[in-house]
Amino acid sequence: MGVPYDIEYIDLSNKPDWFLEISPLGKVPVVQVNGGISIFESAVINEFVSEINPPVMHPTDLVEKARNRAWIEYGSGMLGTNFRLRNSKTAEEFAENKSKLVEQLKKVEEQIEDGPFFNGEEFSLIDSSYTPLFMQLDLMSQIHEFDIYAETPKIARWAEMMLSLPAVKNSVVEDFPDLFRASIAKRDGYLAQFLN
Ligand SMILES: N[C@@H](CCC(=O)N[C@@H](CS)C(=O)NCC(=O)O)C(=O)O
């Protein structure tokens, strides 16, 4: 907490040269430390920021920590599934991708105990790692309700709680919902028809 930083937002449809020079994959996020060393991959960045500000926000038990890291990686893959879901061209494609995401959510659901966080009472890095997915699904369901959590009530509660946190609300630019909707409109797929 309280790590000083400067932030630059990148228009991913028009990436500046300086950004392409520091981001090996041309993707966000990338963090520059010690006057020019690039740290990329959000899970690595999150661990790094946590490690320079102990206590590290992972469970201390090594098996639990490894389990958390494994499911963080799994959640990263779910962002890919959700990317395909929101860019589906047809109702059939949307339904197919939704089923894939639901199956993945069900696997995560089995890992959660009582909450409110993934590991119970303690906030951990894994909670922040799933929040972009929760935020995207929330915005998508505002465009078109598709009941993504129907079979995963624990994740529904986890997502709702995470999205209610001020730190999460403040983690994106103010016009993020508009930008997100604009990106869906631009793709002109299945979801775009529900934009008003
Ligand atoms: N595994 C990477 C994924 C990063 C990623 O896919 N970033 C997207 C935005 S969320 C991006 O920069 N896309 C731009 C592009 O691929 O051109 C991470 O977790 O940091």
Q: Does 45 map to a domain?
A: no
Residue nearest to ligand 1 atom 14, measured at CA = 27
Give start and end residues of each alpha helix (H) in the chain: 17-22, 42-51, 62-86, 91-109, 125-143, 153-164, 166-169, 176-187
Nearest CA to ligand 1 atom 13: 27
Per-residue pLDDT band for 168 (boundaries 50, 70, 90) equals very high
Number of domains in the chain: 1
Asked if residue 152 lies in contact with residue 124, where contact means CB atoms within 8 angstroms, the answer is no
Hey, which of 12, 27, 83 would you mutate to test ligand 1's pocket, going by the most ligand atoms within 8 Å of its Cβ? Answer: 27
Residue 37 pLDDT > 70? yes
Provide the token pair at 24. Answer: 């090996």
Q: Is 76 in the pocket of ligand 1 (CB under 6 A)?
A: yes
With beta carbons less than 8 A apart as the criterion, state whether 93 and 191 touch. no
The answer on pLDDT for 176 being more than 90 is: yes
113 within a domain of the structure (yes/no): yes
Determine the average pLDDT of the residues in 123-147.
98
Total-model pTM: 0.95
Our answer on whether the CB atom of 27 is closer than 6 Å to any ligand 1 atom is yes
Q: Is 58:68 a contact under the CB 8 Å cutoff?
A: yes
Q: Would residue 150 count as lying in a domain?
A: yes
How many C-beta neighbours within 10 Å does residue 84 have? Answer: 14
Domain coverage including residue 133: 62-194
Q: Does residue 75 have a pLDDT over 80?
A: yes
Closest CA to 139 of 85, 105, 176, 186: 176
Atom 11 in ligand 1: residue holding the nearest Cα? 27
Is 95 part of any domain?
yes
- Position 110 pLDDT exceeds 70: yes
Rounded Cα–Cα distance for residues 179 and 87 (Å)? 15
Instruction: Give residue 2's pLDDT.
Output: 75
Hey, whose CA ends up nearest to atom 16 of ligand 1? 27
Q: How confident is the model at residue 1 (pLDDT cuts 50, 70, 90)?
A: low
If pLDDT is split at 50, 70 and 90, which confidence band does 3 have? confident
On whether residue 30 sits in a domain, the answer given is no
Can you give the CATH number for the domain in which 94 is found?
A: 1.20.1050.10
